[in-house]
A and B are shown apart, each in its own frame.
Chain A
């Protein structure tokens, strides 16, 4: 961009810049806290946090939480909650294990069936919530018990494994390097340059479009800085991973889903309807929105994503155990609330939930490397959740 655009009115003077920061403190604040937390642990762990191997592990460890957070965000925005996702993860893992290990079914039909079963589970729970107005807390609490029990029954209390090698690739595999780089994964590296470039191009296009329509938007300094940070962070982390084994398959799945859900929530009618329902269900209904059906869909969606997470988790452990998925729902829900979602519905962003999940993930990982016991880890995570929501409420009251 030329210097002229820098001086364009949208850049704003110091006063409007200050106002803008004040207004959007929360959005940027979260990203900044994530970066701060990463730097903190990078120092405290003497650089282990961002070692290529650890970084790859970090992604693998948190992928299923992030994937579920996408669905949970929609459920929370619609004004509900889903406590059953942890149990569904365990149940789907058990189902996949029984099908593939005991019945020797090929991994592709197994995966499809598992996703369908996930959707059916979501539908079964959403049905009561949406059409019979039973509080989701109760319905999914019941689901939590039911599916925990069912996975125990399926596995007969045993661990079942190992899985076929192809299935394990879902979690432990890396994208193939078509260029066959020796010391570094060229395809991955290329992706790490191309994807941020596309993102920036889209952002610039969007900004120019808004400018053309005379829409108020963030000051140019911020826009440039944000994109620069985004591109360099993604690029750098990608570079680190490329120097190990390349980008994990899971990472690709995760990023595709994040992009998809960000788009759905911000730019599609179904996304808008979900926000409207959470914001004021009666008004949404009187505006002709089929509130029950939309609520029902958010639960089906949650079920499918929980099933996907279940498959990824099972593939990662390479066995299905009765304890899989225990208390995952807490991490997923915490990620959404740290990310700024409102417990009363109508408010929350996909990017927020993803950052929230990463904050939890980095803290888990960093504290483990530092040798903090699991006991104190839980205490600290709990306090961070409370602090994040407190800040949210505090700034909202101040504004």
Chain B
């Protein structure tokens, strides 16, 4: 089949670095082409070249789309030809309706006056294609991330898309939404729409991709054809990191001690809807040197539970008790929770974890300014020394500890957040999706840090949506669904099937339970 897109010998450099060097990418008509590589390998840069964010002339090499050489001067040029990119951070206006968002910048109007009935029918049409049944007038802020992603795709369809580029579309979706999205891509394929899928989730790639291009350090490593024979995940990883990772999860000999931290009968209600119970009677304990996982689907209440325990930073009408080393502790404010030995590493490091405009040093000391100051005066030399120390220990790759955190890659940003919480000298760390959006190599390093913490006798509570990760890292796993813990199992006896079964069985149970409440 002829390629719809050929990028040949693309080289793009920024002052001081070659972001892309002689990269080739060829996408056949009607295929799903996966683009993989570690963070910083050049995937996003390549897509920006393709979509015209970096205009013709700012790079060398050629782009051929549908057989002709193209010179895009901006995004509008590439969109006109049907090349649509959907970014990881969705570009929707939350306070506008689905319909308004879909036709934003492309309003269905005559002489500047919008034809609302046309908008309505066209939107319904598009939404049907992506499998959404919400009314077009629904505000985007009122629908979940999964549906928002579908709205973005509907928007792409409205522009007669020929080549759809998705940048980590499933990063913030739960498993069923992810599956639905991938099915949609397969359906588009039947209709002759080609897609480029950027993803860190290798299982998804092996499921849908027809071919896989691997980038490493700004160069094309290889393009694998998935039809010629099975491409294993290990094969992809080897291409990405340039070596075979013997094991994706570093081994640890658990030395588990007494119960360190315990939560009893924890309940909490929704932040805004005070009658909606989010957390129902949760009991949890973690022992010294133990890594405890909390599995569950998106929306199960894991983050809400963790944040409500950590200084009541989420929820209303919180009840329950928390114990540290057998003594009941006060976790009523974040400060007190920290002082009592808790740390919470957020799932959203950009919005809740880092002061992006500030440097590494200041971010690391933020949760424990008392540790670098005397009588409120900061000892900046001590602060720098501490930052340097964590930089070495956690292998934070940066030009200096005075570098702004906004310029770090995802994995290194996560290490800065971890450093901050390690410096607050916690006894128990709650890690919420600690490896979200970071590449395989950095993930391995983070697992190593988690193991080290456990070896030092700390307790670790890890929330993750990636079940293999929980199975690989944890000693014991709680399964959460609809705000309650529905199962608990040693990792040795756990499997993805067992976890899913626990969720499904209790999901049905919980729903009938809720119905009962409504009728009562």
Verify if B378 is at the interface (C-beta below 8 Å from A).
Answer: yes
- Please name all residues of chain B whose beta carbon is closer than 8 Å to the beta carbon of A270 when the two chains form the complex: 376
- Please name all residues of chain A whose beta carbon is closer than 8 Å to the beta carbon of B338 when the two chains form the complex: 288
Verify if B302 is at the interface (C-beta below 8 Å from A).
Answer: no
> Which among B352, B354, B377 is the interface contact of A267 at CB below 8 angstroms?
B377
Cα–Cα, bound, A284→B380 (Å): 19
- Please name all residues of chain B whose beta carbon is closer than 8 Å to the beta carbon of A286 when the two chains form the complex: 310, 313, 334, 344, 346, 352-353
Whether the Cβ atoms of B357 and A284 lie closer than 8 Å is no
> Which among B310, B351, B358 is the interface contact of A276 at CB below 8 angstroms?
B358
Verify if B362 is at the interface (C-beta below 8 Å from A).
Answer: yes
Verify if A4 is at the interface (C-beta below 8 Å from B).
Answer: no
Whether the Cβ atoms of A346 and B373 lie closer than 8 Å is no
Q: Contact mask A233-270 → B, CB, 8 Å, 1/0?
A: 00000000000000000000000000000000001111
Whether the Cβ atoms of B355 and A346 lie closer than 8 Å is yes
Cα–Cα, bound, A258→B419 (Å): 34
Cα–Cα, bound, A282→B417 (Å): 14
In the complex, which residue of chain A has the Cβ closest to the Cβ of B337? A288
> Which among B370, B385, B420 is the interface contact of A213 at CB below 8 angstroms?
B385
Name the distance in Å between A16's Cβ and chain B's nearest Cβ.
13
Interface centre among B334, B335, B373, B424 (most CB of A within 10 A): B334
- Please name all residues of chain A whose beta carbon is closer than 8 Å to the beta carbon of B358 when the two chains form the complex: 275-276, 279, 346
Contacts A210-B381, A270-B376, A282-B352 known; A287 to B357 CB distance under 8 Å?
no
In the complex, which residue of chain B has the Cβ closest to the Cβ of A264? B376
Cα–Cα, bound, A213→B378 (Å): 16
Cα–Cα, bound, A126→B335 (Å): 22
Interface centre among B310, B333, B355, B369 (most CB of A within 10 A): B355
In the complex, which residue of chain A has the Cβ closest to the Cβ of B334? A288
Name the distance in Å between A240's Cβ and chain B's nearest Cβ.
35
Q: Contact mask A208-251 → B, CB, 8 Å, 1/0?
A: 01100101100000000000000000000000000000000000
Q: Which residues of B contact A (CB under 8 A)?
A: 310-311, 313, 333-335, 337-338, 344, 346, 351-358, 362, 365-367, 369-370, 373, 376-378, 380-381, 384-385, 400, 402, 420, 424
Q: Contact mask A185-217 → B, CB, 8 Å, 1/0?
A: 000000000000000000000000110010110
Name the distance in Å between B209's Cβ and chain A's nearest Cβ.
36
Cα–Cα, bound, A284→B366 (Å): 8
Verify if A347 is at the interface (C-beta below 8 Å from B).
Answer: yes
Q: What would be 30 A-B contacts, judged by CB atoms less than 8 Å apart?
A: A209-B381, A213-B385, A215-B381, A215-B384, A216-B402, A267-B378, A268-B373, A268-B376, A269-B370, A269-B373, A269-B377, A272-B378, A273-B369, A275-B355, A275-B358, A276-B355, A276-B358, A279-B358, A280-B351, A283-B352, A283-B353, A284-B355, A284-B366, A285-B334, A286-B334, A286-B344, A287-B366, A288-B311, A288-B337, A346-B357
- Please name all residues of chain B whose beta carbon is closer than 8 Å to the beta carbon of A273 when the two chains form the complex: 369
> Which among B376, B377, B380, B420 is the interface contact of A287 at CB below 8 angstroms?
B420
In the complex, which residue of chain A has the Cβ closest to the Cβ of B352? A282
Whether the Cβ atoms of A280 and B380 lie closer than 8 Å is no
